[in-house]
Chains A and B, each alone.
Chain A
Amino acid sequence: MTTQPLQFVPGSEFKRRAAKVVADPFLKKSFRGAMDFLMAKRAAQFPDPELLERQRTLAEHIRRYSLARMPQLLEQLEANLVKNGVKVHWAENSDEANAIILGICRQHDAKLMVKGKSMVSEEVELNHAMDAAGIDALESDMGEYIVQLAGEKPSHIIMPAIHKTKQDIAKLFAEKVPGVAYTEDVDALIQVGRDVLRKKFMDADIGLSGVNFAVAETGSLCLVENEGNGRMCTTVPDVHIAITGIEKVVEKLEHVVPLYGLLTRSATGQAITTYFNVITGPRREGEKDGPREMHLVLVDNGRSQAYADEQLRQTLQCIRCGACMNHCPVYTRIGGHAYGTTYPGPIGKIVSPHMMGLAATHVLPGASTLCGACGEVCPVKIPIPDLLIRLREEATHDAKPGHAPLVGQGAGKTTFASLAFKGFAFLYSRPALYRTFVWAATRFRFLTPGKQAGWTDSRTPLKPAAKSLRDLLAERENRGS
């Protein structure tokens, strides 16, 4: 099944896509409805703000603790996985990750791979690589299956097909799945997907999955899911390949519990998911099921760049719950596809620059009002607005002396903006000059242009008052009141 590879998305393209969604009343209503639903479900899980605050603080500490020890924990993880019979691979970037997985497939002469939901596999564009190598990589998560059938990308990290309506899916199934008639009955639609997939689990040579938490102390991989397809992918085929980012490692199983509790509540408003898999190695002697061979591919793909900087490292605290996008007023208006990145929404804006470079992504950190809704709900307390500001700075400046440049450092620099802010600083750091400016702006307010780029598309022009506050105060002084 073919999928479109991610393309370089320049700022103008982002704007064009965003404008298109914004202008579509149907999409607008459907996104708004979906996000409202998710926000309400999350809120219902956290009735006590103080308790939530304590849980978030604990989760933040666990993530920071894990990241502070990441190099040692990764070594420990590898050693314990190997002890458990798992082969561990390290991938610097997408190409390496795909080459490793392709290598394993070739060893087994694999024709069919079934996939559980994995955003890292989306990030490295595994489906595209498999497709090019003639291997059928089939998504088994219902949402992923739908977007794959449609030849699209997920528009949300938890609910990949959230942009699709019941009618869209009915049409898609009727068109693409042989022998299926058009129906808008959701249960029937789900059954269609299940029937198709169930057969494939049995036929697949390889099962691929993501990882939510990798536990160093025990060498276990934890997988959170609702559909049971994750369990099928990781137990039915003879070979299981797990793929994940290096930041997913935690020290102990007990560290998983608070993170898991916040993950599901923040993501879908569920107290717990239907399935929670802890996978500690392939089938052992005497066991009746489970894969005979198991691999873990640990992907860097720009994470080390974020890791190297104390502030940007906070990006890696993320547990991919998606709450930041559910609560983001920009995401709610434009949906996930406009971003042109694997991870959309606020987390996408702060993580994609490390994965794809600032040249391709510098417009994204800027496309935020810094309203702070994301940081407020983030279960691991990532200060997303601060990181957006930081990336805006990196996008418009050379690296500071003594700091390694980020990939694409300074790619968003424009002479206009740097002159404008130089002018701003010049004027506003000279009180006497500023007073003259205010004096002139109020006296010559009739000269205010009627068209102000961007602003007046949807608003009346900004016009200085006839008298500034300092004028009014001076007048009052003179009147002696």
Chain B
Amino acid sequence: MQRNIPDGPRPTDIYFFATCLVDLFCPEAGMDAIQILEREGIRVHFPENQTCCGQPAYTSGYADEARLVAAKQLDLFPEDWPVVVPSGSCAGMMFHHYPKLFAEDPVRKAQADALSGRVFELTEFLLKVLKVQFKDAGQPTKVTLHTSCSARREMGTHLHARELLGQLSGVEVLMQSHESECCGFGGTFSVRQPEISAAMAGDKADALKKTGAEVFLSADGGCLMNINGTLEKRRDSFRGQHLASFIWERTGKNNGGQA
């Protein structure tokens, strides 16, 4: 499934919803995403009061608790600007599940519907809204891409990341076997069913590494923590990097990026 994004004037301002994982566990990825957006001439607003999209409670069956948290996020974005999220699963939560979560509350439902229409996963926003054209400034390299399941199946953005990487002339994207298969994170699943989760994460790490890529990329903090944690435990030096950080570095940071 891919969203239809109508052509419109290029936005000047956006809200950045970092997600709790990026805020606390991989802040550089958030910073790099913000810098890419700013380099494109966008004013990035970071609502101070943002916390978490509420997904951990929602997917665990605690809808009331998720609603409490989600309701707070609904109030963060008063202006009609796009909301950009550097994570497929949190974007999916806001795009896909918020309207359902507030189905019985007309006021909140209207807010959720309006928000759902302007939530974008980072790669989707860069490619489809800003229509960026990146210029590669790095040495030739080989990478492989792991797309989170929510990015793939809720946001339809797996092709966007691939297309963005395609703009980088020195970057060859290698395909891993079982490309569309889940890495086994699944939020609380990883601790409720650690054996199954470990088996899935192990297989994913193997498949990514087997491509011979120097690094694997993902636009989701959860998958990155899961697969990187698995590799590190194995004392394997192969690692994953957030797509935003990779792009920021490849395109010469502040110096370049514009075609």
Q: Flag whether B18 is at the interface (Cβ < 8 A).
A: yes
Contact with B186, one of A19, A368, A428, A471 (Cβ below 8 angstroms): A368
Of the 9-residue stretches B4-12, B19-27, B119-127, B209-217, which lies at the interface with chain A?
B19-27
A422 to B65, CA, bound (A): 7
- As a 0/1 sequence over residues 180 to 218 of chain B, the CB contacts with chain A under 8 angstroms (1 = contact) are 111011110111111111111110000000000000000
Q: How far is the CA of A366 from the CA of B56 in the complex (A)?
A: 13
Which residues of chain B are near A421, meaning CB under 8 Å? 57, 60, 62, 65
Min distance, Cβ B135 to any Cβ of chain A, angstroms:
23
A188 CB contacts on chain B under 8 angstroms: none
With known contacts A370-B186, A392-B60, A425-B68, A329–B200 Cβ distance under 8 A: yes
Within 8 A of A (CB), among B51-75: 51-52, 54, 56-66, 68-69, 71-72
Contact partner of B51 among A397, A429, A465, CB < 8 A?
A429
Interface flags for A379-401 (1: CB within 8 Å of B; 0: not) read 00000001001111111110000
Cβ of A372: which chain B residues have Cβ within 8 Å of it? 149-150, 152-154
Q: How far is the CB of A278 from chain B (nearest CB, A)?
A: 36
| B189 touching A369, Cβ below 8 Å | yes
Distance, CA A427 to CA B54, complexed state (A)? 11
Nearest 3 pairs between A and B by C-beta?
A369-B186, A392-B61, A459-B229
Closest B residue to A53 by CB, please name it.
Answer: B1
A256 interface residue, CB < 8 Å from B? no
Docked Cα-Cα span, A429 to B74, in Å, equals 11
A107 in the interface, Cβ–Cβ < 8 Å? no
- Set of chain B residues within 8 Å of A457, measured between Cβ atoms: 194-195, 198
> Which listed residue (A395, A442, A459) contacts B201, Cβ 8 A?
A459
Interface residues as binary, B147-191 with A (CB distance below 8 Å gives 1, 0 otherwise): 001101110000000000000000000000000111011110111
Contacts of B51 in A (CB 8 A): 427-429, 431, 434
0/1 interface trace, chain A 10-42, chain B, CB 8 Å (1 if under): 000001001100110000100000000000000
Query: Which residues of chain A from 449 to 481 have a CB within 8 Å of any chain B CB?
Result: 452-465, 467-473
Query: 19 additional contacts, CB 8 Å, given A438-B23, A459-B229, A469-B22?
Result: A369-B200, A371-B182, A372-B153, A393-B61, A393-B63, A425-B64, A429-B51, A431-B51, A454-B194, A455-B229, A457-B195, A458-B194, A458-B197, A459-B201, A459-B230, A469-B18, A470-B23, A472-B27, A472-B28
A367 at interface by CB-CB < 8 Å:
yes
Q: Judge whether A373 and B71 touch: CB under 8 Å.
A: no
Contacts of A452 in B (CB 8 A): 191
B31 beta carbon closer than 8 Å to chain A: yes
- The residue in B28, B195, B229 that gathers the most chain A C-beta atoms within 10 A of its C-beta is B195
State whether the Cβ of B132 lies closer than 8 Å to any Cβ in chain A.
no
Contacts of B42 in A (CB 8 A): none
Given contacts A329-B184, A373-B149, contact A469 B30 (CB under 8 A): yes
A333 within 8 Å of B (CB atoms): yes
User: Majority SS of interface residues in chain A?
Assistant: helix
The CA of A427 and the CA of B24, in the complex, are separated in Å by 14
Which chain B residue shows the least CB distance to A20? B195
The answer to whether B195 touches A462, judged by C-beta atoms less than 8 angstroms apart, is no
From A397, A428, A470, B48 is in contact (CB under 8 Å) with A470
Which applies to chain B's interface (DSSP): helix, strand, loop or mixed? helix
* Interface of B toward A, CB cutoff 8 Å: 18, 20, 22-28, 30-31, 34, 46, 48-52, 54, 56-66, 68-69, 71-72, 100, 149-150, 152-154, 180-182, 184-187, 189-202, 225-226, 229-230, 232-233
Does the CB pair B200–A389 fall under 8 Å?
no
Interface positions of A (Cβ within 8 A of B): 15, 18-19, 22-23, 28, 329-330, 333-334, 366-373, 375-376, 386, 389-397, 417-418, 421-422, 424-425, 427-429, 431, 434-435, 438, 441-442, 452-465, 467-473
Chain B contacts of A395 at CB under 8 A? 61
Chain A residues, CB < 8 A from B24: 438, 441-442, 464-465, 468
- State A431–B7 Cα separation when bound (angstroms): 35
| Nearest chain B residue, comparing its CB with the CB of A434 | B51
User: Interface centre among A18, A392, A424, by most B CB within 10 Å?
Assistant: A424
A389 contact set on B, CB distance < 8 A = 58-59, 61
Are A333 and B62 interface neighbours, CB within 8 A? no
**Cβ–Cβ < 8 Å partners of B181 in chain A:** 329, 371, 373
Q: Which residue of B lies closest to A390 (CB)?
A: B61
Of listed B23, B26, B50, residue having the most chain A CB within 10 A = B23
Q: How far is the CA of A458 from the CA of B182 in the complex (A)?
A: 17
CA distance A427 to B72 in the complex (A): 12
A-B contact pairs, 30 of them (CB 8 A): A22-B196, A28-B199, A330-B193, A369-B186, A369-B200, A372-B149, A372-B153, A373-B149, A373-B182, A386-B100, A389-B61, A390-B61, A424-B69, A425-B62, A428-B69, A438-B23, A441-B24, A454-B192, A454-B197, A457-B195, A457-B198, A458-B202, A458-B230, A459-B232, A461-B229, A469-B22, A469-B27, A471-B27, A472-B30, A473-B34
B196 in contact with A330 (CB, 8 Å): yes
Q: Report how far A363 CA is from B64 CA in the complex, Å.
A: 21
By the criterion CB–CB under 8 Å, are A396 and B62 in contact? yes
Bound-state Cα–Cα, A470 to B149, Å: 27
A375 CA to B57 CA in the complex, in Å?
A: 21
Q: Are the C-beta atoms of A396 and B61 separated by less than 8 Å?
A: yes
Q: Are A333 and B199 in contact, with the CB atoms below 8 A?
A: yes
A112 to chain B, nearest CB (A): 42
